Structure formats: structure tokens, C-alpha cells
Amino acid sequence: MNIESSSGGQMGTYWGQSYESYDAAIAAAVEAARQDLAGKTLEWMEVLEFRGGFSDGRLQYQTAVRIGYA
């Protein structure tokens, strides 16, 4: 995770991956943020990047998601 600050609050970038879909990869990134930011209020998200890779011949969906929190 990368942490940034702005006048509107704090934000971090999280990465998610899934063998199922980009939606599942986004959900994995949001869940990682929830766990990492326990006790904080998640306020918004922005998908920064869609990409993919192959692991053992299987397509792996990967996303980078910026999440704002307070």
C-alpha cells in the first residue's frame, strides 16, 4: 500500500488480484484496504489500473485501486 495525503483527507493505493474477474480483483483490493485500515471510514475509491498476468498458465486479473479514508 502507498499512503498519500491531500486537503480532503488521506488515501492509499491497494492492489487486488483474482483468477475470476476484474470485479473480483477490485473487491480483493477493497477488502485489503478494509483490513489494513480497520477503525477508519472508507469514503471513496478510484480504479487506477487494469492489467493481467499469467500464473501456471492461468489468466490472473490485477487492479490498482486508490481508496480515500478518514
**pTM of the model as a whole:** 0.84
Residue 56's domain comprises: 2-69
Per the structure, the count of domains in the chain is 1
CB-neighbour burial class of residue 45 (10 A; exposed 0-12, middle 13-18, buried 19+) = middle
The pLDDT tens digits for 46-69 are 999 999 999 999 999 999 999 999
CATH number of the domain encompassing residue 56? 3.30.1660.10
What is the identity of the amino acid at 42? L
The pLDDT tens digits for 15-42 are 999 999 999 999 999 999 999 999 999 9
Give the integer Cα–Cα distance in Å for 70 and 61. 29
* 10 grid coordinates: 488521506
Q: How far is CA 4 from CA 11, 27, 29, 37, in A?
A: 5, 21, 17, 14
